[in-house]
Amino acid sequence: MNNQELTGAAPAARRTEHVDEYHGERVPDPYRWLEDAENAEISAWVDAQNAHTEAFLSASPDREAFRERLADLWDFPKPGTPWRRGARYFRTHNDGLRNQPELQVADAPRGPWRTVLDANTLSDDGTVALMQVHVHHDGARLAYATQQGGSDWLTWRVRDVDTGEDLPDVVQWSKFSGAAWLPDGSGFLYSAYDAPASGEAYVSVNLHQKLYLHRLGTPQADDELLLARPDQPEWGFEARIMRDTGRLIVSVWKGTLRQNLLWWRDLGADGAFHELVGDFHASYDVVGMDGSTLYVLTDEDAPTGRLIAWDLSTGERRDVIAASADTLHTVAVARDALVTVSLRDARDRLVIHDRRGTPLREVHLPDLASVLEVNATADDPDVFLTLTSFISPPTPHHLRVPDGALEGLADIPLAFDPAAFEVRQDFARSRDGTRVPYFTVRRRDLTPGTPHPTLLYGYGGFNHSLLPSFSLQTVAWVERGGVYVSANLRGGSEYGRAWHQAGTRERKQNVFNDFIAVAEDLIERGVTTPARLAINGGSNGGLLVGACLTQRPDLFGAAIPMVGVLDMLRYHQFTIGWAWASDYGTSDDPDGYRTLRRYSPLHNVQPGTAYPPTLITTGDHDDRVVPAHSYKFAAALQHAQAGHAPILLRVGRQAGHGAGKPTHLKIEEQADILAFLAATVGQNHTP
């Protein structure tokens, strides 16, 4: 199928004369009506858009083949990283194609395992997901949070581990929260917002988070309010309890700002908190507790991170692991050791230290493997972690300390041969000369120097690193002769705080320049051509794709912005969007407006431009990046398109930002993306 073939025109969106004024400039917003979640006209328009997209995808001879292949690839056991509470071990597990994983418990890290909670029984279609599990330290009870339809809203319940039965407790309207058990197990702390008005759950702005104590057996209406700051509506609260001393530790966050406050007081005490950190000037992540001592990973006076020990009884602080050229991103505190994971050129290094911080040994990792998770506690010698790579699925391991022996806890059968793939790392030069790393995954038997269909993926924001990770979509694409590329852009944390800040606010264009530089490097090396190069990213990565698409439509053969932040002038007006101002700035500020206006994808769509084939994806229950971003961008691109390439919008029903999505919906979405790629930049398309 040629990328110019599509039956019928895209469903036109009604245009209005709506205009906003920003600091003396008038900016049209003809699709403002697409923001109204309660508008029945939107539902009809979305149905028409989905039908239009379905007409294109159903004509693909590859779609069903990709769907079947993904189902085959997906059908393998997926054990999670174990963690210990009391004498019990817990993990999540999916035996293959089930929509959601189970929560399991055992008396040993290798099992045998039994099911404590099966999220597949919570809904008929798998759209209720288990998002949080917090087990009391004795292993007898757990608080768990579920999410419905992809929304970020959490509902908390409590389950008895022995009986598998729920207690009557139900806590609603929690969001961006964990649960911290009281030492005696009589209740737990959680954070929540006021219940939204009817019909506003997926669009209302999330401000004024509060910290509550829920005591088991009591209604939520009786929960004790522990902390609220009406004078600081953007502050949120993450609570932890030091079991040995009964002290409550609160990390105060403000959106996605990589800085936080740190407070404490004795549990049950009234009055003000003691301020360990009283202003937003650095990040302080409590990674472990031992007696009265906190172990804190911080970038205070250390742009690449350092570990300090902070004694709450004496106030004494001391360095445990000093900053180095590598970026320290994970520390786990075990009984006999500190286990650290740091980054060097976007590659993980795993090192065991003694409790004083002296390095004992580096643990050899498989080539280009990433450490996904490290579970340890200060009173337990066991350390559990999960390793993965581009060509190996997440696999749990037991790390023996201090000798560094790694023991796999699962043998995972695969429906493909990892030896048939090769992974390499290269570096591009961005416009300002910055060295930008990227990884390439391809079949070993591909002819070097011959251009191939290529999918370039990126993110570039919020201090998030893109490390080697496993994706069945990547496997299905590469085994068919495609090339997959993952770019490490500024805005992430690959090289510490300076690398992150170089991709924020007025420097955000650096991120797009880095992505374009990788694309041009791939073309120069002969890996691909513009006609065979597709770009993909989600959320902030959707912004990345939208900005690069509108800035360089000539450079790409296809684009797939997923759940993207695409209206940069109004993003902060919805749900948790205000929290992203630390990376973006806002249009409320004159300088912020000018920066955002220059790259906002929605506002840089130019009528009369021939845009490449574009598949825009979102979910109708996305209450993080509301679907109006994608709706408005799709309408604007379809209106402006001067070429014949399709501009498609795919809206998932009962779907959100991505977390908790059931397996069958993941397979459908990924098969549709692969079919779109095959039809536009793939081997079946002739440029």
Q: Residue 367: its pLDDT value, please?
A: 84
Token readout for 102 is: 């189970």
Q: Is 286 left (phi over 0), alpha (psi -120 to 50) or beta?
A: beta
Q: What is the pLDDT of residue 684?
A: 53
Catalytic residue among 93, 452, 500, 657: 657
Q: d(Cα 356, Cα 338) in Å, to the nearest integer?
A: 9
**What pLDDT shows up at residue 683?**
64
* Residue of 671, 681, 673, 682 lying closest to 69 (CA atoms): 671
Can you give the three-state secondary structure of 150-199, one letter per residue?
CCCCEEEEEEECCCCCEEEEEEEEECCCCCEECCCCCEEEEEECCCCCCC
Structure tokens at 240: 């932890």
539, 582, 587, 630: the catalytic one is 539
pLDDT one-digit tens code per residue, 249-258: 999 999 999 9
Q: How confident is the model at residue 261 (pLDDT cuts 50, 70, 90)?
A: very high
Q: Cβ distance 476 to 384 under 8 Å?
A: no
Q: Is the pLDDT of residue 202 over 90?
A: no
How confident is the model over 310-339, as pLDDT tens digits?
Answer: 999 999 999 999 999 999 999 999 998 999
Which pLDDT score is estimated for 654? 78
500 closest CA partner among 468, 467, 462:
462
Residue 657 annotated in active site? yes
Q: Which residue has the higher pLDDT, 137 or 654?
A: 137
Task: Sort strands 114-118 and 102-106 into parallel, antiparallel or unpaired.
Answer: antiparallel
Judge whether 652 and 672 are in contact, CB under 8 Å. Answer: no
**DSSP letter string over 375-420?**
E--TT---EEEEEEETTEEEEEEEEPTTT--EEES-----SS-GGG
Mean of all residue pLDDT scores within the chain = 95
Backbone angles phi, psi at 162, to 5 degrees: -70, -45
> What confidence tens digit (pLDDT) does each residue in 378-403 have?
988 999 999 999 999 999 999 999 88
**Confidence tier at 660 by pLDDT (50, 70, 90):** confident
Cis peptide preceding 112, ω within 30 of 0:
yes
pLDDT above 90 covers what percent of the chain?
90
The Cα-based distances of 597 to 586, 587, 613, 658 in angstroms read 10, 8, 24, 28
Q: How far apart are CA 55 and CA 66, in angstroms?
A: 17
pTM across the whole model: 0.95
| CA–CA distance, 145 with 131 (Å, rounded to integer) | 6
Q: How far apart are CA 606 and CA 625, in angstroms?
A: 24
- Residue 641: which residues within 8 A CB-CB, separation 6 or more? 609, 610, 611, 647
Q: Which of 467, 459, 517, 521 is nearest to 491 (CA)?
A: 459
- HSE-CB of 191 using CA atoms within 13 angstroms: 22
Contacts of 634 (CB under 8 A, 6+ apart): 49, 616, 647, 648, 649
Mean pLDDT of 521-526: 97
pLDDT at 687: 41
**All residues at 6 or more sequence positions from 299 whose CB lies less than 8 Å from its CB, including other chains:** 258, 282, 283, 305, 306, 496, 497
Backbone angles phi, psi at 551, to 5 degrees: -85, -35
CA–CA–CA angle 496, 356, 329 (5° rounding) = 20
User: Does residue 4 register a pLDDT over 90?
Assistant: no
The b/e string for 100-109 (b: 16+ C-beta within 10 A; e otherwise) is bbbbbbeeeb
| pLDDT level of residue 268 (50, 70, 90 thresholds) | confident
Query: Contact 441/423 with Cβ under 8 angstroms?
Result: yes
Q: For position 271, what pLDDT does the model report?
A: 87
CA-based torsion, 194, 199, 205, 206: positive or negative:
positive
392 forms beta bridges with 389
Show the tokens assigned to 81. 């990283």
User: Catalytic site residue 471?
Assistant: no
Mean pLDDT, range 200-213, rounded to an integer: 93
pLDDT single digits (tens) 574-596 = 999 999 999 999 999 999 999 99
pLDDT tens digits, 480-496:
999 999 999 999 999 99
